[in-house]
Amino acid sequence: MKAIDCGTLIDGISEEPLSDGRIVIEDGRITAVGTRSEVSVPGDAERIDHSNETVLPGLIDAHLHINGWRSLQPFDMTTLDIVTQTARATEDLKVLLRGGFTSVRDCGGPTGLGLREAVEEGSIAGPRIYTSWKSFSQTAGHADAHFLPYEWVTGGGSGDAIRGKSQGNVLADGVSECRKEVRKHLREGVDLIKIMTSGGMLSEKDHPDQPHYSEEEIAVFTEEAHRWGIPVASHAEGTEGINRALRNGVDTIEHGIGIDDESIDLFQETGAILVPTLQAIYRNAIAGPDSDVPEWSIQKSKSAHEEHIESAKRAYDNGVPIAHASDCGGTENHPLGTHLEFTLLVEEVGLSEMEAIKSATSIAAKALADDSIGAIEPGRYADLVAISGDPLSEIQQLSEIHTVYKSGDTVDV
């Protein structure tokens, strides 16, 4: 049993912080929260003093890729050996923990299931992993390797060598095929289903404005996933791709470029969450020639950057819940475990510092469909971050991390 005294306690739910707070932890979960005058310290509890610091829930990155990427050049990603990916990702998980991220949602790639198992059994250090495993794309869609012969992508002929590398996606077309492929994923024990309902920035021959998957195909993905209680996330970077996904029951919209009035109505009707991942496109648009993506992707990002910000603003102004996420994968220009997204949410979109923190705690937990994380309240896991500064006065002070706890234990990586 442990008792943690806090100078300022941000619980991830309340509108205001709590001064002189105290958290009691037993068997990895929170049993009591309140002021020091309200919550007594059990006689056998270990006392931990953060009385000069701010304590808040462990942070959540609701959209990233733990695939060990060190380049976002499409051919590099496609041909990367899965053993190399996993070895690199094992180190990346430590980087995430050091950044205060105690839970992550892995939105597409072949390593997620194995890494999740290794973390859960204690073989490696890492945040809680919620993984979609491989993403679903239509043929010629965002997750199709456009630059390769079709036979190579689907595993035929001389493409077997390519297929055996780091293919992190599944091509599925038609209602029957989509239904069967999503059932295969459910059989593997995924935490969510990830689909692509538009083109994207990192796929050469399509465009974000192009809607992908028919209404019927999207409905099959959500029908099958929801029967198992599994949420569906949709990559959607164009208006029709967003609205088609929302009309057919997806739970989260990833990126969300091109949100219009119909989108807002659908968000409000369905309760879906926006996961804008602002920094991924921001990094491409601002970094320019120094970015680690192809030139055609940089140009797409530059043309979409302002609309991306405006779409997030429109969603925020209309009460759409927003979850924090980076869409990064560990490359030099798209590093994991950083806090740029918080700055963009506050300075570009207009969230308050408290709202930005909630986007990475209680709201992100809803995006992950798990109410055992994301807040400091009895019954939830004691995933905590102690920082030296005051993020409510300056969001950048989230980077001043002093200590990270996972299930009440100090993280030492």
DSSP of 158-214: GGHHHHTS---EEE--SHHHHHHHHHHHHHHT-S-EEEE-B--TT-TT--TTSB-S-
pLDDT in tens, 141-160: 998 888 787 777 776 544 44
Cβ(336)–Cβ(330) under 8 Å?
yes
Q: Which of 44, 38, 36 is nearest to 4 (CA)?
A: 36
Question: What is the model's pLDDT at position 146?
Answer: 81
Q: Which band of pLDDT confidence, cut at 50, 70 and 90, is reported for residue 288?
A: low
Mean pLDDT of the chain: 93
Tens digit of each residue's pLDDT (9 = 90 or more) over 195-223: 999 999 888 889 889 999 999 999 999 99
| pLDDT level of residue 289 (50, 70, 90 thresholds) | low
Sheet holding 193-196, edge to edge: 169-171, 135-137, 193-196, 232-236, 252-255, 273-275
**Tens digits of residue pLDDT in 255-269:** 999 999 999 999 999
Closest listed residue to residue 325, CA positions, set 346, 309, 310, 340? 340
Length of the chain: 413
At 299-327, the pLDDT tens digits run 888 899 999 999 999 999 999 999 999 99
The span from the CA of 322 to the CA of 352, in Å, is 12
pLDDT band at 178 (very low <50, low <70, confident <90, very high): very high
C-alpha span between 327 and 161 (Å, rounded)? 28
Residue 295 pLDDT greater than 90, yes or no: no
Q: How far apart are CA 344 and CA 297, in angstroms?
A: 21
Structure tokens at 221: 């993905």
Local confidence band at 165 (pLDDT 50, 70, 90 cut-offs):
very low
Of the listed ranges 9-18, 287-296, 355-364, the one predicted with least confidence = 287-296
Mark out the alpha helices in 228-294 (DSSP H runs). 239-247, 261-270, 278-287
**At 41, which helix (H) or strand (E)?**
none
Q: Reduced to 3 states, what is the DSSP secondary structure of residue 58?
A: coil
Q: Delineate the domains of the chain, giving CATH numbers in brackets.
A: 2-58+375-410 (2.30.40.10), 59-367 (3.20.20.140)
What's this model's pTM, rounded to 2 decimal places? 0.95
pLDDT tens, residue by residue, 28-68: 999 999 999 999 999 999 999 999 999 999 999 999 999 99
Please tell me the distance from the alpha carbon of residue 368 to that of residue 361, in angstroms, as a whole number: 10
Residue 366 has pLDDT above 90, yes or no: yes
Task: List Cβ neighbours of 398 (8 Å cut-off, separation of 6 or more).
Answer: 59, 100, 339, 342, 357, 387, 391
